[in-house]
Structure 1
Amino acid sequence: MPKEDYVPTLFSLFRQYGYDGATLSKISAATGLGKASLYHHFPGGKEDMVASVLDHSDCWLQENVLQLLAGKGSPHTRLQKMCDHIHDLYAGGTQPCLTAILETGTGRDLFHQRIKTLVTHWIGAIAKILVESGLDEAIARQRGQDALISIQGALIVSQALDDASLFLRTIKQLPETLLHWE
């Protein structure tokens, strides 16, 4: 199989265990590949595997968030569709965030700049919609940051309390919250 076929499994592993916790033996067991085969597909080892997972995540964000936010429809509709995709990505608040987990331990040293770029693009796309809606550019950027803080915070708290309804409530309210500025 081509290495791209292993990326969803790697995505799940790194999302669950992070860079440091996803050992080669765990990766080997999950993919069914021996260490030699893993290095055949990913010559740079775990760092190469995470780079492939981040490539996959970049494509997902581009297709499911950035293009959608830049597309047609009312700002509310586009933001709601973004929230629907985020809901699916995090399985209704039951799955952790890959980028948040990679921002800890050794992963931060290796992938911080790449994750920062991804988050910056997402914030910018949300801010652009809010500017289209008539909000001041500086406030729109702050609201874009607040949107990601809300999403990530709700995800963490939902998982800590074993209560996905907190994440679901946040996602449901987010478009209204972002667009309300009276």
Structure 2
Amino acid sequence: MRPQKINDEELLVSLTKVFRARGYEGTSLKELSDVTGLRKASLYHRFPNGKQEMAESVLNYMSKWVTDNIFNALNKEGNSSEVRLKNGFSQIRRLYDGGRDSCIFRALSMQNGMELFHQIISKGMNEWLIAFKNLGLSMNLSDQVAEEMALQTLIDIQGSLILSKGLKDTDIFENTLKKIENRYT
């Protein structure tokens, strides 16, 4: 058996870049082939259900990354709230390259993508809300206040990403994260 040209994580990182930049409908198999260095036949060998399976794999990969790096940091028992926030937001900055990268949920929820990936996207958004609500609860906020803050946090992060891209100003993203951190402390 021939060794793989690209390992699974490198493959998913490459696919993520294209889907983030172009969305589901805007991404062609040629672009996916070009960015990974794999022929279309090799991509189909790894993803028999084609582009949809590639996008689902990207969503699952990103979900695991977010859980391992962001949610675990935000909810790590034994750390103070300030340390949780600092570590979690450091990883959020990393996930979105300081506001330069789009959210994969936004990229894949355009046009037909929302129909195809609604369950995965909805589940992912709810996981973000739960993580931030749990953070608020760990800070002795009431259930209702923790839930409201979690929702506003997700709105603020997503909105700041769109504005940062649209206005080509990553300070918007950074300033928003600082405001969220201040709101929690």
User: Does residue 1:73 correspond to 2:79, yes or no?
Assistant: yes
User: Does residue 1:137 correspond to 2:147, yes or no?
Assistant: no
Structure 1 spans left out of the alignment, 5+ residues: none
1:33 and 1:65 map into 2 onto residues whose CA distance is 31
Determine which of 30, 35, 47 is the counterpart of 1:25. Answer: 30
Cα distance change of structure 1 residues 77 and 3 upon mapping to structure 2, 3 Å threshold = closer
Residue 14 of structure 2 corresponds to: 9
Shift >2 Å, 4+ stretches: 2-5
Residue 61 of structure 1 corresponds to: 66
Cα distance change of structure 1 residues 4 and 87 upon mapping to structure 2, 3 Å threshold = closer
Residue 51 of structure 2 corresponds to: 46
User: Does residue 1:170 correspond to 2:176, yes or no?
Assistant: yes
Aligned Cα RMSD in Å?
1.3
User: Does residue 1:152 correspond to 2:158, yes or no?
Assistant: yes
Q: Per-residue displacement from partner, 1:136-169 (whole Å, max 9, x unpaired)?
A: 1012111101101111111111111111111111
1:142 and 1:102 map into 2 onto residues whose CA distance is 26
2:143 and 2:74 map into 1 onto residues whose CA distance is 16
Paired-residue identity, %: 35
2:131 and 2:101 map into 1 onto residues whose CA distance is 24
Structure 2 spans left out of the alignment, 5+ residues: none
Cα distance change of structure 1 residues 69 and 36 upon mapping to structure 2, 3 Å threshold = same
Q: Per-residue displacement from partner, 1:94-143 (whole Å, max 9, x unpaired)?
A: 11111111111111111111111111111111111211212110121111
1:124 and 1:3 map into 2 onto residues whose CA distance is 29
1:77 and 1:156 map into 2 onto residues whose CA distance is 27
1:11 and 1:143 map into 2 onto residues whose CA distance is 29
2:174 and 2:103 map into 1 onto residues whose CA distance is 15
* Paired residue total: 179
Is the 1:42–1:49 Cα contact (8 Å) retained in structure 2? yes
- TM-score, normalised relative to structure 2: 0.92
